[in-house]
Chain A
Amino acid sequence: MARDTTSDPLGNILSRIYRSIVPRSIIPKTDADRRRTILEFLVLHMRPVRVRRSTLRFTHTFGLGGMSLVLIGLLMASGILLMLAYDPSPEHAYQSILSIQDGMIFGATVRAVHHWSANILVAAALFHLLRVFFTGAYHGPRRFNWVIGLGLLIGILAANFTGYLLPWDQLSFWAVTICTGMLGYVPVIGEWLQAFARGGTEIGRGTLVLFYSFHTTVVPVVLIVLMAFHFWRVRKARGVVSPNPQDSQEDDDTEKVLTLPHLLVRELAVGLTLVAVVVLLAALFDAPLGAPANPGMSPNPAKAPWYFMGFQELQIHLEPLIAVVVLPVLGALGLVLLPYLHFDHEMSGPWFLSKTGRTTGALAAVVSLVVTPLLILIDEFWLQQVGGAGWLAVGAVAAGITAFAVFLSKKFKPEKAEFVQSLFILFMVAFAILTITGVWFRGPGMALVWPWIGGS
């Protein structure tokens, strides 16, 4: 030691500082070194040393959870930059967005990265939920992680919605007006809830301050805490679910490979590709910005952000109480309780669980694909002319769903997991069609239009 300090004092102290931070080679050469690298780095040690080889196949998870994490990273990086130049007041917000776009090098690109990452994140988290659902990865030790995941989904939607208002343009102002307007239909506490969400009776300074502080502090902190919890739970469940249903939860060492390099290299590839795609998208397509918010003039049509459009479309057809309160509450309750239903066989592993799972699921998808547009048209061109869909119509739809469920269980004798899956698909496809109708097939006055003939 002593002789080193005399020969090369500076180099030695630098290398000692470096070694104190990075105790091991980042690119280890032997398996034993690789094992230790995983264990001795803070971020890496959240991973197991070895993982099941069969779970590595891309089409087993599509890397959607990891993609969500990468997108949240991009959002935080671009978000901090935007925060430095954004002014959260009704008088200056719009102007500050303009000067970010036009007055700063890469300003428009940073804003576009934030915009596209946010929207892709909603999609990625939803598809991740579907992946987990369709591989039956919510049983046993994964039960509570499903619930944490739902918490993450709510956090992501909250982040998106609170961020939507910040540009203070016509698009954002009226989308937030409409969405908070829906809250007014909650019985008893509706008016109070609405004033709470708006920070006053109308959208204004109070709303902007509330949304900005939630968007930049509360929601990101909650997301980070929940993500740490989520990843720890994946680890506790011995990694992601195995694609082979016969695999038990026991460690089966013959099937395992080292996390480094096998898993990490794959994750790196997916992550870097995603970053490249988002940056490219951002370079090619700017984030939208309408005219400055004008409380005196609503645009026509005024729509909610796309991820809430399904509810707005539902609201066109059903009594507000059913569309805004009853159905969303039932849906949320169903999702939360899903892992706690009693399943005789906790089927998991292959996509759509089994052969019966695939058949009944496909049938449900086709039925929903045909019936939902029909119902929309029947309501639009017939029921609404004679006073709207009453309880009778709602009852008829409920009876139809029940009949379909009875038919499924009689004809295919599915396991409970397969049965639940088909009903889930039925509702999922219906909601997707409502969303698509609302986003693309609704024009001025929310009348039905063909999107390719001068629609929205």
Chain B
Amino acid sequence: MSTSEPTTRRSLLGKIWVGLGGLALLEGVWIVTDFLKPRKRQGSDKEAETLIVAGPIENFDPGSVTAFQQGRFYLARLEDGGFLALYRECTHLGCTVPWIGTEERFVCPCHASVFNIKGQVLSPPAPRPLDTFAVRIENGIVKVDTSRTLKRSSFSDSQVARS
């Protein structure tokens, strides 16, 4: 008893040290990941910055696509009068897709993905339709909320905003 006591006490202390060391390590990892984590830009949550007022409905002809540089999206008005706000980043690897008016489709310059006016994939490698932003129509004015991109695996009519 008297001989084993010092060893157990020592081994207990040793374990406590190891435990504390582990704790300190975890703390370090936590701090580093916290600093590395992407931050929202100051004030970018404010609606004023992310809500784009596109204009009155009449400004957009059915079957037309209008680019909004600042909001990084295209406002597409479908033939039936519904609106879709298509995020301009290709869903393949993130290039910016231009609208080719004469062919009525989006063609990605990077790896040749093709999308139609609804953002549906006509030709791979893009794995899913173009992402969208939420569109609201209030008193005949089209507004686009660019704070969050909406991913979709296929087109459905519920994505289209109508007045």
Q: Is A316 an interface position by the 8 A CB rule? A: yes
Knowing A296-B69, A446-B110, the reply to whether A199 touches B38 (Cβ < 8 A) is yes
Q: Is A187 an interface position by the 8 A CB rule? A: no
Question: What residues on B are CB-neighbors of A180 within 8 Å?
Answer: 94
Question: What residues on A are CB-neighbors of B41 within 8 Å?
Answer: 200, 205
Q: Are B109 and A301 in contact (CB under 8 A)?
A: yes
Q: Is B15 an interface position by the 8 A CB rule? A: no
Q: Are A446 and B112 in contact (CB under 8 A)?
A: yes
Q: How far is the CB of A271 from chain B (nearest CB, A)?
A: 37
| Neighbour of A302 across the interface among B37, B38, B98, B109, CB < 8 A | B109
Q: Is A206 an interface position by the 8 A CB rule? A: yes
Q: Is B24 an interface position by the 8 A CB rule? A: no
Knowing A195-B38, A196-B36, A196-B37, the reply to whether A178 touches B94 (Cβ < 8 A) is yes
Q: Are A298 and B95 in contact (CB under 8 A)?
A: yes
Q: How far is the CB of A372 from chain B (nearest CB, A)?
A: 20
CB-CB nearest in chain B for A300 = B109
Q: Are B125 and A298 in contact (CB under 8 A)?
A: no
Q: Is A198 an interface position by the 8 A CB rule? A: yes
Q: Are A298 and B108 in contact (CB under 8 A)?
A: yes
Question: What residues on B are CB-neighbors of A296 within 8 Å?
Answer: 69, 88, 96
Interface SS of B by simple majority: loop
**Interface 1/0 per residue, B110-144 and A, CB below 8 Å:** 11100000000000110100000000000000000
Q: Is B10 an interface position by the 8 A CB rule? A: no
Q: How far is the CB of A315 from chain B (nearest CB, A)?
A: 8
| Neighbour of A388 across the interface among B93, B97, B124, CB < 8 A | B124
Bound state CA distance, A444 and B109, in angstroms?
A: 7
Q: Is B9 an interface position by the 8 A CB rule? A: no
Knowing A200-B38, A206-B38, the reply to whether A300 touches B110 (Cβ < 8 A) is yes
Knowing A195-B38, A198-B38, A206-B39, the reply to whether A182 touches B93 (Cβ < 8 A) is yes
Bound state CA distance, A174 and B108, in angstroms?
A: 13
Question: What residues on A are CB-neighbors of B89 within 8 Å?
Answer: 202
**Interface 1/0 per residue, B15-32 and A, CB below 8 Å:** 000000000000000000
Question: What residues on A are CB-neighbors of B110 within 8 Å?
Answer: 174, 178, 298, 300-302, 446
Bound state CA distance, A202 and B39, in angstroms?
A: 12
Question: What residues on B are CB-neighbors of A316 within 8 Å?
Answer: 111, 125
Q: Is A334 an interface position by the 8 A CB rule? A: no
Question: What residues on B are CB-neighbors of A184 within 8 Å?
Answer: 93-94
Q: How far is the CB of A151 from chain B (nearest CB, A)?
A: 19
Question: What residues on A are CB-neighbors of B96 within 8 Å?
Answer: 295-298
Question: What residues on B are CB-neighbors of A295 within 8 Å?
Answer: 72, 96
Q: Is A28 an interface position by the 8 A CB rule? A: no
Q: Are A445 and B38 in contact (CB under 8 A)?
A: no
Bound state CA distance, A299 and B36, in angstroms?
A: 30
Interface of A with B (CB < 8 Å)? 174, 177-178, 180-182, 184, 195-196, 198-202, 205-206, 210, 295-302, 315-316, 320, 388, 444-447
Interface of B with A (CB < 8 Å)? 36-39, 41, 69, 72, 88-89, 92-98, 108-112, 124-125, 127, 149
A sample of 14 inter-chain contacts (CB < 8 A) reads A177-B93, A177-B94, A178-B95, A184-B93, A201-B38, A202-B72, A205-B41, A206-B38, A206-B39, A210-B36, A302-B95, A446-B110, A446-B111, A447-B112
